[in-house]
Chain A
């Protein structure tokens, strides 16, 4: 089935070749902000996956009716509505995490990945494909953040998910908890991944 193949291809591209973090380098602000504690990161990632997939869904559904002149206003409105929903739900059902995330949840609105996917994909593709694209962009963002957060929390606080795993012999690297630590981790991550991808591309060209 051609359609199914397309969905799969769209879905995989966000995780790999078109990954929002290491290929497009989008959404870096939140990557720097939330990745020092794994728990906050996971909540942020779930919020983002929810918002990208649903905003892509809604915008794709309305794509033939949105006047192109005001499309950005409509997109922002739709995205903002979903972000507010995430914020309210967190406040009501997981108040502790909501308190820790503070203003970060509201800032999902400004995450360029969501607007980027809406503009570049949802406006010109059918609903199913757009949802796949939104999910994939969100998850592509998500797993990179979780990997970065894992190392930042481990090296910066000696703990994982708030539980101390490294003994008292471990001296916390405080730079890992602060924003510069995220720059280093992100840069190393991009370097490793891009290194691997280009290596493979070179080999493919040779053979």
Chain B
């Protein structure tokens, strides 16, 4: 483009950038606002489903199912500031306390791992584990999200120890994931640490 002077060229450049920026921010913000509720719902649904899995309560995949079951069987206990301390589990459907669930975090290989751990009423056994957040290597460490790995912790109590994949014989042995020792160890640390201090969290 031809300009009358350097001044107008500069003005045009600044103005152009400003307009383009405003237009694109408007478009992305619009799409963000449009999908925001859906994204938040997805996130809470995912957490609720994880809590239910850790509490060993069967639930379908539909949003309605998860919401209803969660409402019926999980009671969130918060401290004075509204921060989640732990959750009480009422699995039987008869209003009797059957266990607890806690959300804990720990370092993984690439980032934080956030997990829900479920325990029975006497804190003597785990009812299960599920992961809310993990950025482990897809195909390797991310396999902690596979069902067989999570199922291993059901109805058992640690401290656990890792053995090579496919060789766990029950008791306190947990199958590690081959090729992902750091992630396996990170999960084990989180679980064992939580087992040792769960009595202080659930009071």
Question: Which residue numbers of A lie inside 8 Å of B, CB to CB?
Answer: 34, 36-37, 40, 62, 64-67, 69-70, 73-74, 77-78, 81, 84-85, 88-89, 91-93, 95, 99-100, 102-103, 153, 156-157, 172, 174, 177-178
CB distance B16 to A91 under 8 Å?
no
CB distance B42 to A174 under 8 Å?
no
Contact of B179 among A40, A73, A81, A177 (CB under 8 A): A177
List the B residue with the shortest CB-CB distance to A172: B178
- Per-position 1/0 for B16-37, Cβ under 8 A of A: 1100110011011001100100
Given that A67-B9, A92-B35, A92-B38 are contacting pairs, would A174 and B140 also be in contact in the complex, using a CB cutoff of 8 Å?
yes
Given that A77-B20, A77-B24 are contacting pairs, would A100 and B179 also be in contact in the complex, using a CB cutoff of 8 Å?
no
CB distance B178 to A88 under 8 Å?
no
B residues near A153, Cβ cutoff 8 Å: 139
> What total of chain B residues lie within 8 Å of the partner, measured CB to CB?
28
CB distance B13 to A69 under 8 Å?
yes
A residues near B42, Cβ cutoff 8 Å: 91-92, 95
Instruction: Tell me, yes or no, whether B202 is within 8 Å of chain A by CB.
Output: no
CB distance B13 to A95 under 8 Å?
no
A residues near B27, Cβ cutoff 8 Å: 81, 85
Instruction: Tell me, yes or no, whether B167 is within 8 Å of chain A by CB.
Output: no
B residues near A65, Cβ cutoff 8 Å: 1, 16
3 A-B pairs with the lowest CB-CB distances in the bound complex, closest first: A92-B35, A174-B179, A177-B139
Given that A69-B13, A70-B17, A85-B31 are contacting pairs, would A78 and B24 also be in contact in the complex, using a CB cutoff of 8 Å?
yes
26 A–B pairs (Cβ distance < 8 Å), ordered by A: A34-B138, A36-B137, A36-B138, A65-B1, A66-B16, A67-B1, A70-B17, A74-B17, A77-B21, A81-B24, A81-B25, A81-B27, A84-B28, A88-B35, A88-B39, A89-B35, A91-B35, A92-B35, A95-B39, A95-B42, A99-B46, A177-B140, A177-B179, A178-B137, A178-B140, A178-B179
